[in-house]
Structure 1
Amino acid sequence: MSGAPLHISVDHGLATVTIVGSGKGNALGGTFWDDLRDFMETVRARDDIRAVALVGEGDTFSVGMDLRWYVVRLRRAERSGTPTFMDDDVRRLQHAVTTVADCPKPVIALINGECTGAALELVSACDIRYATRRARFSLPEAELGVVADLGGLQRLPLVINQGHLRELAFTGKTIDAQRAARIGLVNDVYAGSAALHDAARTLIGDLSRHPAHVLEGIKRVLGETHQEGIRRGLGQCAHWNSTHTGADGLRHAMTARLDAMAP
């Protein structure tokens, strides 16, 4: 494994972004967020890319936020005495996820294994979600004493109904691929990774029959109605966690979670 938090390859119009992250289980930390943002912002100008697929390296999509990485950031923030650090940093991560939602070309999530927390919020910004039978989904931020704040609470209501979303957010429970398909979280479930990638290649073949400006127009029209509400909701989440939990409270909760996870 290289030190890069994501690997990118382009084949027959499909840009595959493989998430490696900064820790075990393709944890999302380090330069991942900035690298994702930078790549997604270049996609608009690349004629060789008709669609983007996000996939995790190996047998896991992502375990979510890299808590070890973020605890270090919170310690630095406490030492610096920067009162707006948590608010500002969350908005930076939110922006990275928003570049996925705002990409003018279709974005597909190919989900195998665990898709937890920030990873589920990330795939909520995708247009289409395919999963293997091994896929598992959860939104456990409440266990850390925070409100999920990277866009899941704003975008998932456009995908699943409020009852299912509230159950996921309130309880932090894990659901399997079959239930995810029943509630509309994923479009289809496949036997394994090979079938998942075959489905993505079939989809890019279907998309390639249509002009790129038409696909962009569809995305823009579908998204425009909800943009203002999503923007307000993201700001509210960032402010709520900053004022109600704070950097010190989140650091202690993340440290306790890491201790509980230690062998």
Structure 2
Amino acid sequence: MSRTPLHTAVTEDGLAMVTLHGSGSGNALGGSFWDDLRDLMADVGQHDDIRSVALAGAGDLFSVGMDLRWYLVRLRRAQRSQDPGFMDADVHRLQQAVSAVADCPKPVVALVDGECTGAALELISACDIRYATRRAHFALPEAELGIVADLGGLQRLPLLVNQGHLRELAFTGRTVDAAHAARIGLLNDLFDDRAALHQAARRLNADLSRHPAPVVAGIKHTLDTAHHDAVTRGLEYAARWNSTHTGPTGLAQSMAARLHRSPAPDLPHPVAIP
């Protein structure tokens, strides 16, 4: 039975509460989620009655990250079609969805409870503000799949945490708890439970509503402009790196190994990117 990957409810005071259901268990991010997210962010940006957006996961976690089963099917189709441009085109499509969060003129706050892994961590890096419960935990394990995180985490996280902490996360794939994430600057604040987390989003929306919406949008755009070109270049480089070094075959093998909880196979020897 299919389900809607995103559910949106707008409160009377203009807070758009967006709940991520994704395409698989653990709010895995796949299927139509990516196009729906891109379209939703474009849509809320056009509504004067919406002052801010909150992203939360359904149930007791934010998201386990990319839906590997969904993407593995896509990779195998690409192998059969021998389409050399598939991986680049698909990664750009996913990057555009995450960038739509960063580009939304409304402030976007991530509300993280439980797990926030991989693509989900890259997604919240595109948000303006990040709140979490004390039971939240975070990881960027793409290296285990033999790929470079390519949805914007390596471009946007340096704006939040220092290089040493980011490199430790990206190199090791290690999971860090909410207290550590707050200590290194990934999170704005910690809360005891989901109810307090959602109340914090409502308080933030009330604070934002006291200022003219165009001014808030102008602040966001001004802050983003300073880093926009560097983020764009970094996204393109990561997409090219994965396409050149790993490709659909290597990534499909690594994803299948991850799904079966077995060690990933050796990947082809890297080749240089000009």
* TM-score (ref. length: structure 2): 0.94
Deviating runs (4+, > 6 A) in structure 1? none
Q: Secondary structure at the match of 2:130?
A: strand
Equivalent residue letter for 1:251: A
Pairwise mapping of residues 114-153 of structure 1 onto structure 2 (< 5 A)? 114-153=115-154
Partner of 1:181: 182
The separation in 2 between residues aligned to 1:2 and 1:142, in whole angstroms, is 31
Unpaired runs of at least 5, structure 1: none
The C-alpha deviation readout for 1:155-176, integer Å capped at 9, x for no partner, is 0000100000000000000000
The separation in 2 between residues aligned to 1:188 and 1:253, in whole angstroms, is 35
The separation in 2 between residues aligned to 1:15 and 1:82, in whole angstroms, is 39
Q: Secondary structure at the match of 2:135?
A: coil
Pairwise mapping of residues 237-256 of structure 1 onto structure 2 (< 5 A)? 237-256=238-257
* CA-CA distance at 1:62 after TM superposition: 0.2
* CA-CA distance at 1:258 after TM superposition: 0.2
The separation in 2 between residues aligned to 1:18 and 1:25, in whole angstroms, is 13
* CA-CA distance at 1:92 after TM superposition: 0.4
The separation in 2 between residues aligned to 1:172 and 1:54, in whole angstroms, is 24
The C-alpha deviation readout for 1:146-201, integer Å capped at 9, x for no partner, is 00000000000001000000000000000000001100100000000000001111
Query: Do structure 1's residue 9 and structure 2's residue 12 form an aligned pair?
Result: no
The C-alpha deviation readout for 1:19-66, integer Å capped at 9, x for no partner, is 000111000001000000000011121012100000000101000000
Aligned identity (percent) is 69
Partner of 1:171: 172
Give the superposed CA RMSD: 0.9
Equivalent residue letter for 2:211: H
Query: Do structure 1's residue 235 and structure 2's residue 241 form an aligned pair?
Result: no
The separation in 2 between residues aligned to 1:231 and 1:43, in whole angstroms, is 23
The separation in 2 between residues aligned to 1:135 and 1:189, in whole angstroms, is 9
Partner of 1:39: 40
Partner of 1:78: 79
Partner of 2:63: 62
* CA-CA distance at 1:69 after TM superposition: 0.1
The separation in 1 between residues aligned to 2:2 and 2:144, in whole angstroms, is 32
The separation in 1 between residues aligned to 2:100 and 2:195, in whole angstroms, is 28
The separation in 1 between residues aligned to 2:240 and 2:25, in whole angstroms, is 30
* TM-score (ref. length: structure 1): 0.98
Equivalent residue letter for 1:236: Y
The separation in 2 between residues aligned to 1:100 and 1:79, in whole angstroms, is 33
The separation in 1 between residues aligned to 2:106 and 2:216, in whole angstroms, is 7
The separation in 2 between residues aligned to 1:181 and 1:173, in whole angstroms, is 16
The separation in 2 between residues aligned to 1:42 and 1:27, in whole angstroms, is 23
Partner of 1:87: 88
The separation in 1 between residues aligned to 2:138 and 2:104, in whole angstroms, is 24
Equivalent residue letter for 2:168: E
* CA-CA distance at 1:255 after TM superposition: 0.3
Q: Secondary structure at the match of 2:190?
A: strand
